[in-house]
């Protein structure tokens, strides 16, 4: 992180001592968000082992997918299981639906040894980009799930929450003490907060200094990190040197003003992406995430809420099928790559302080790549359409200004796009056709920070692919035949 080795060793020692204190007190555990919007996700058992190998004590899920939940049985990890936004309506309008969901996704898994501690009802449902789609259903859904948990006898052991974006509150000035809930949803927020408070729940908020920097080029970069800002915000007797503390305490003030100053707060998501934008790279991500870990390991908390911080890093693994509507960086939040390789050194302050541990037992396809034929002219009129097709069907978010593959020449860009499509389609020969513009090679075209990946073996993602294909029977049949061929070859 740019400091001298003596300072670095001292900082690590402080982190380790702090975390040992936390461990003995049973607080301050760090969690991870485990998303599965990937074309070739790692096997759930592999991910659970990776979570444990890296000392994570809890995990946050965005749904209750069967393979994921089964892998968490008897893992010892505390689980926050999610109900996606598209399920809020059925939960809100039918108590029977809520009871059935709790029975299927909470009670049965608890009985099988999954340590479910929270149910996250919805995910940032009040984002302004949703244009109010979930304003009518979120609170009734939370209420019904809470009632269903109580009816199932789980009211004391499993709590409801609702992960919300930090845009549900704001300060009329830059001072946290001027914070309150957004005027358009103020009454709704108070109703939700009261329900959480009455039932011993917690307020879950996602805080992203990176997004502030992405949206506003004039945002002070040093304020996003934890080294002390050149222009701190002074709020009465409080001084804020980083955005996390100020944003967090804006929420604490909003809660306090409305009579809920003691409601527990969980940081549902916090992190920094490594690609897809000029400010998204491994160096800045390591700087931010290590700074955050060291900050919370100190046990100081924030000026308005001293003590341990309950947080889930976002995220564990890159997801190549996430929507890039917010930005190309969306597919690159992982502290691990798609195949479970650490992107940078990160001391989580857990039992394993030697750095991140990669996923074990990952199987890859052959070491071959799809590239532009050397003989093809860059003036070939077929190139533009073929590259456009490859990028529309695969992931080209690492190509662009100041991204990991931003230094490639035109031929390199084209080869990257072709290879990504080829790998996503399990190195199928047909997927390296591109009207005879491409060819396969055994020589790795990776260069510098730009990695030309090789896909995880098809078995790892096979059941997932069948689920996603749904009604496309012909493609499903072809995949089944392919799997049979592979198993007999």
Domain-terminating residue out of 441, 457, 474: 441
Q: Are residues 197 and 242 in the same domain?
A: yes
Confidence category of residue 3, pLDDT binned at 50, 70, 90: very low
3-state secondary structure the chain: CCCCHHHHHHHHHHHHHHHHHHHHHCCCCEEEEECCCCCCCCCHHHHHHHHHHCCCCEEEECCCCHHHHHHCCCCCCEEEEEECHHHHHHHHHCHHHHHHHHHHHHHHHHHCCCEEEEEEECCCCCCHHHCCCCCCCHHHHHHHHHHHHHHCCCCCCCEEECCEEHHHEEECCCCHHHEEECHHHHHHHHHHHHHHHHCCCCEEEECCHHHHHHHCCCCCHHHHCCCCCCCCEEECCEEECCHHHHHHHHHHHHHHHCCCCCCCEEEEEECCCCCCECCECHHHHHHHHHHHHHHHHCCCCECCECCCCEEEECCCECCCCCCCCCCHHHHHCCCECCCCCECCCCCCCCCCCCCCCCCCCCCECCCCEEEECCCCCCCCCCHHHHHHHHHHHCCCCCCCCCCCCCCCCHHHHHHHHHHHHHHHCCCCHHHHCCCCCEEEECCCCCECCECCCCCECHHHHHHHHHHHHCCCHHHHHHHHHHHHHHHHC
Question: pLDDT value at position 412?
Answer: 98
CA separation for the pair 276, 322 (Å, rounded): 13
Is 489 inside a domain boundary? no
pLDDT for residue 12 is more than 50 = no
Is 343 inside a domain boundary? no
Q: Are residues 233 and 328 in the same domain?
A: yes
Q: Are residues 88 and 229 in the same domain?
A: yes
Q: Are residues 249 and 375 in the same domain?
A: no
Question: pLDDT value at position 458?
Answer: 57
Tokens of 324: 């890039």
Tokens of 319: 């997801």
Q: Which domain holds residue 421?
A: 369-441
* Active-site residue set: 124, 269
Q: Nearest 5°: phi and psi at 383?
A: -60, -50
Confidence category of residue 229, pLDDT binned at 50, 70, 90: confident
CA separation for the pair 18, 12 (Å, rounded): 10
Q: Are the beta carbons of 219 and 212 closer than 8 angstroms?
A: yes
Give per-residue pLDDT as tens, 435-468: 999 999 999 999 999 999 999 985 644 433 433 4
Q: Are residues 87 and 218 in the same domain?
A: yes
Confidence category of residue 482, pLDDT binned at 50, 70, 90: low
Is 146 inside a domain boundary? yes
Nearest to 51 by CA among 27, 29, 19, 25: 29
In this prediction, residues 81-100 reach a mean pLDDT of: 98
Is 3 inside a domain boundary? no
CA separation for the pair 290, 198 (Å, rounded): 35
Q: Are residues 294 and 420 in the same domain?
A: no
Q: Are residues 388 and 327 in the same domain?
A: no
Round the CA-based radius of gyration of the chain to a whole number and report it.
24
Domain-terminating residue out of 285, 311, 336: 336
Q: What is the mean pLDDT of the chain?
A: 89
pLDDT for residue 269 is more than 80 = yes
Is 483 inside a domain boundary? no
- The sign of the torsion formed by the CA atoms of 322, 361, 442, 274 equals positive
Q: Are residues 34 and 128 in the same domain?
A: yes
Q: Are residues 383 and 300 in the same domain?
A: no
Q: Are the beta carbons of 51 and 317 closer than 8 angstroms?
A: no
Q: Are residues 283 and 377 in the same domain?
A: no
Q: Which of 6-20, 284-298, 392-406 has the lowest mean pLDDT?
A: 6-20
- The sign of the torsion formed by the CA atoms of 20, 22, 25, 29 equals negative
Confidence category of residue 352, pLDDT binned at 50, 70, 90: low
Q: Which of 10-24, 167-181, 251-265, 450-464 has the lowest mean pLDDT?
A: 10-24
Is 400 inside a domain boundary? yes
pLDDT for residue 432 is more than 50 = yes
The structural domain count of the chain equals: 2
Is 464 inside a domain boundary? no
CA separation for the pair 332, 347 (Å, rounded): 20
Q: For the chain, give the percent of residues with pLDDT over 90.
A: 84
| HSE value, Cβ hemisphere, 13 Å, CA-based, for 325 | 3
pLDDT for residue 486 is more than 80 = no
Domain-terminating residue out of 400, 417, 441: 441
Q: Are residues 316 and 376 in the same domain?
A: no
Q: Is 359 exposed, middle or buried (0-12, 13-18, 19+ CB in 10 A)?
A: buried
In this prediction, residues 284-303 reach a mean pLDDT of: 95
Nearest to 326 by CA among 388, 401, 273: 273
Tokens of 376: 């093809």
Is 471 inside a domain boundary? no
Q: Are residues 247 and 117 in the same domain?
A: yes
Output the domain CATH number for residue 229: 3.20.20.80
315: cis peptide before it, omega within 30°? yes
Query: 16-55 b/e with 16+ CB inside 10 Å = b?
Result: eebbeebbeeeebbbbbbbbbebbbbbbbebbbbbbbebb
pTM of the model: 0.88
Give per-residue pLDDT as tens, 174-189: 999 999 999 999 999 9
Confidence category of residue 4, pLDDT binned at 50, 70, 90: very low
Q: Which of 89-93, 227-231, 267-271 has the lowest mean pLDDT?
A: 227-231
CA separation for the pair 226, 239 (Å, rounded): 13
């Amino acid at each position: 992180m740019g400091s001298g080795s003596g300072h670095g060793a001292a900082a690590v020692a402080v982190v380790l001592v702090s975390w040992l204190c936390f461990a003995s007190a049973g607080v301050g555990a760090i969690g991870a968000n485990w998303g599965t919007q990937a074309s070739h996700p790692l096997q759930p058992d592999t991910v659970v082992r990776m979570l444990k190998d890296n000392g994570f004590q809890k995990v946050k899920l965005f749904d209750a997918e069967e393979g994921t939940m089964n892998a968490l049985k008897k893992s010892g990890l505390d689980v926050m299981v999610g109900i996606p936004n598209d399920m809020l309506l059925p939960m809100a309008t039918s108590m029977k639906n809520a009871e059935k969901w709790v029975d299927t996704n909470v009670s049965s898994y608890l009985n099988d040894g999954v340590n479910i501690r929270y149910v996250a009802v919805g995910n940032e449902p009040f984002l302004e980009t949703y244009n109010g789609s979930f304003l009518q259903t979120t609170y009734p859904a939370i209420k019904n799930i809470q009632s269903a948990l109580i009816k199932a006898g789980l009211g004391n052991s499993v709590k409801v929450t609702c992960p919300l974006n930090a845009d549900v509150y704001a300060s009329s000035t830059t001072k946290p003490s001027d914070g309150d809930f957004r005027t358009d949803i103020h009454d709704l927020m108070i109703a939700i907060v009261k329900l959480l408070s009455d039932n011993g729940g917690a307020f879950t908020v996602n805080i992203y200094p990176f997004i502030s920097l992405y949206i506003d080029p004039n945002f002070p970069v040093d304020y996003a990190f934890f080294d002390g800002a050149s222009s701190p915000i002074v709020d009465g007797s409080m001084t804020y040197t980083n955005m996390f503390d100020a944003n967090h305490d804006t929420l604490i003030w909003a809660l306090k003003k409305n009579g809920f100053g003691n409601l527990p707060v969980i940081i549902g998501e916090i992190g920094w992406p490594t690609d897809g934008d000029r400010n998204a790279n491994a160096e800045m991500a390591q700087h931010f995430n290590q700074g955050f870990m060291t900050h919370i390991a100190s046990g100081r908390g924030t000026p308005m809420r001293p003590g341990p911080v309950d947080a889930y890093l976002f995220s564990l693994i890159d997801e190549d099928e996430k929507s890039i509507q917010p930005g190309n960086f969306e597919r690159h939040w992982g502290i691990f790559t798609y195949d479970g390789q650490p992107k940078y050194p990160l001391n989580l302050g857990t039992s394993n302080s030697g750095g991140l541990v990669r996923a074990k037992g990952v199987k890859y396809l052959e070491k071959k790549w799809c590239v532009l034929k050397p003989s093809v002219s860059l003036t070939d009129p077929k190139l533009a359409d073929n590259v456009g097709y490859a990028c529309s069907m695969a992931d080209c978010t690492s190509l662009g200004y100041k991204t990991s593959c931003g230094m490639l020449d035109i031929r390199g860009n084209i080869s990257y796009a072709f290879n990504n499509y080829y790998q996503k389609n399990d190195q199928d020969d047909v997927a390296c056709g591109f009207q005879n513009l491409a060819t396969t090679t055994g020589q790795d075209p990776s260069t510098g920070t730009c990695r030309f990946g090789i896909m995880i073996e098809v078995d790892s993602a096979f059941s997932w692919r069948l689920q996603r294909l749904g009604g496309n029977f012909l493609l499903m049949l072809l995949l089944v035949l392919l799997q049979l061929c592979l198993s007999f070859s």
